[in-house]
Amino acid sequence: MSHTVLIIGAGPGGVAAARAVRQYLEAEDRVIVIDRQDEQRLGVTLLSIMRGWHEPEDVTIKPSRVLAGVAEFVPAEATRIDPVNRRVETTTGTLEYDALIVATGAELVPETVPGLVTALENGSAGHCWSLPAALHLRERLRCLAGGRVLIVVTRLPYKCPPAPYEAALLVRDLAVERGIGNSVEVTVVTPEQSPLAVAGPEIGRELVALLNQQGITVLTGEQLVAVDGRHREAQFASGRRELFDLLIAVPPHRAPTFVQEAGLAEVDWVPADLRSMRTRFEGIWAIGDVAAVRIRDTLLVPKAAVFAQQQAEVAARDLARWLGRTAPEPELQAYGRCWFLAGRGVAGAIEGDFLAEPRPKVTFQSPSTDGFALMQQELAAWLAQDPARRH
C-alpha cells in the first residue's frame, strides 16, 4: 500500500524533511512539498542583504530544483488544514495526505504592537525579518545622516535569536564605514533579563561586553507596548520611553493563521514532542520555527535553521516508522551553531548543546576573520544544494 506524505513549507526544515522522509519510504510512496514561493534563503543572509553585502539572487536557492527527484514541489499557498479528514486546502486545490509535516515557519504580525505598522509604513521604523523589509531597511540606512538607532525585541520567541544584536553591530559598522560613526547612537532593548537568555547568563554577559566595546547600549527587562511613529518614541510596560530617529523592531512572530485555525497551536505556537516532533493530532508532525519544542519547563529549542534541520530528521524517522516503513529510532538532539555576523569580514558563533544537564552548555566564539571564512564556507555548501548554483 502506497502512502502520501505532505510537507507544508520549503525552508531549511521542510527541504531537510523531504530528503529524510524520501530515504525511509518505498518507491511508490509520494512526498509532496507545498510552498507559495519557489525561493529560500538562510536567515543570516537577510542581515548581509540589509548591510549591502549581498543581493537577494546571490544567496537564494529554488526548492523546486533542490527537490527534483526527491519530492513533488507544488507552488501554492496552504490555506486550511483538515486534521480529521487529512486534507490540506491550497490556492491551487486540495491535497490529501496520510502523514503531514508542518514546516511553515513563523508569521510576522507587527499589527499586534500598537503603532508599529504605521511606523513601518512611514519609514520611521524598519526590520530585517523578511526580504522586502531587509531591502527597505538597507535603503533607509544608506540615507541615515546620524541620530539614534533603537533596536527593539518586541516579543519572545522570534526566529534567528542573535539577529538583533548582529543588526546593532552592523549598523555601527556601516556608520563607521560612512564616516558618521560619531553621529550615530545605537541602543538595543530586549524584554529578557539577559540577552539570549536561552543560552545562559554567561553568554549574555559576553554579548553585552562585545556590544559595549563598540559603543552600543543594551537595555534589558523592557517590554515594548506601543510605538509613536509621529513623535518617534517607543513606549514600554515599565513606563520607560525611548526616543529614536530610526527604530529597528523585531516584529512579533506566531504560527500562521491557517495553522492556528486548524487547532494545532497553543498560545501562538504548535507544541511538538522533542523525541518525535508529533503534535496532538494523529498523523501530524511540526518542525522548525512554527513549533514549540520544549526541552525543560522554561526552555524551548531556539528558532534557527540548524535546529529545524535536526527536527526534520527526527520527524522523518518517526513518521516513516508510524507508516510501517523501516527507519532508525529517532535520535534526540538539540545541538547547534548559530553564526554571529559582527562586521566587515568578521563573524563569531554561538554554539552548544541545549540538552546538556543541568543547563545548556553553550559557548560564544568571538568574531574573527577565521569565523567569517567558515561561515562563508557553510553558506556556499548550503547554496550548492541547488544544482544551478554549483560551480
Q: Which residue type, as a one-letter code, is found at position 290?
A: V
Over residues 24-38, the pLDDT tens digits come to 999 999 999 999 999
The pLDDT-based confidence of 187 (bands split at 50, 70, 90) is very high
SS3 track for the chain: CCCEEEEECCCHHHHHHHHHHHHHCCCCCEEEEEECCCCECCHHHHHHHHHCCCCHHHHCECHHHHCCCCCEEEECCEEEEECCCCEEEECCEEEECCEEEECCCCEECHHHCCCHHHHHHHCCEECCCCHHHHHHHHHHHHCCCCEEEEEEECCCCCCCCCHHHHHHHHHHHHHHHCCCHHHEEEEEECCCCCCCHHHCHHHHHHHHHHHHHCCCEEECCCCEEEEECCCCEEEECCCCEEECCEEEEECCEECCHHHHHCCCCECCEEEECCCCCECCCCCEEECHHHEEEEEECCEECCCCHHHHHHHHHHHHHHHHHHCCCCCCCCCCCCEEEEEEEEECCEEEEEEEECCCCCCCEEEEEEEEHHHHHHHHHHHHHHHCCCHHHCC
Same fold, 4-106+255-333 and 111-252: yes
- Mean pLDDT value of segment 57-85: 97
The residue assigned the cell 552600543 is 216
- Mean pLDDT value of segment 76-95: 97
Is residue 391 scored above 80 in pLDDT? no
Q: What residues does each domain of the chain span?
A: 4-106+255-333, 111-252
Q: What is the pLDDT of residue 270?
A: 98
The pLDDT-based confidence of 389 (bands split at 50, 70, 90) is confident
Q: Is the peptide bond before 367 cis (omega within 30 degrees of 0)?
A: no
Indicate the pTM of the whole model. Answer: 0.95
Q: Which residue type, as a one-letter code, is found at position 203?
A: I
Work out the angle at residue 366's Cα, subtended by the Cα atoms of residues 380 and 61, and round it to the nearest 5 degrees: 20
Over residues 29-69, the pLDDT tens digits come to 999 999 999 999 998 999 999 999 999 999 999 999 999 99
Backbone angles phi, psi at 202, to 5 degrees: -65, -40
CB 370 within 8 A of CB 238: no
Chain mean pLDDT for the chain: 95
Q: What is the pLDDT of residue 212?
A: 97
Over residues 311-361, the pLDDT tens digits come to 999 999 999 999 999 999 999 888 888 999 999 999 999 999 988 888 889
Q: Does domain 4-106+255-333 have CATH number 3.50.50.60?
A: yes
CATH superfamily of this structure's domain 111-252? FAD/NAD(P)-binding domain (3.50.50.60)
Sequence length of the chain is 391
CB 134 within 8 A of CB 248: no
Over residues 258-314, the pLDDT tens digits come to 999 999 999 999 999 999 999 999 999 999 999 999 988 778 999 999 999 999 999
Q: What is the pLDDT of residue 1?
A: 85
Helix-helix angle 12-24:305-322, to 10 degrees: 30
Q: What is the pLDDT of residue 332?
A: 85
Q: Which residue type, as a one-letter code, is found at position 302?
A: P
Q: What is the pLDDT of residue 312?
A: 98
Is residue 106 scored above 80 in pLDDT? yes
Over residues 201-230, the pLDDT tens digits come to 999 999 999 999 999 999 999 999 999 999
The grid coordinates listed for 32 are 509532496
Backbone angles phi, psi at 51, to 5 degrees: -75, -15
CB 334 within 8 A of CB 295: yes
The grid coordinates listed for 343 are 562586521
- Which residue, 288, 263, 275, 265, is CA-closest to 101? 288
Q: What is the pLDDT of residue 334?
A: 86
- Mean pLDDT value of segment 106-117: 98
Q: What is the pLDDT of residue 198?
A: 87
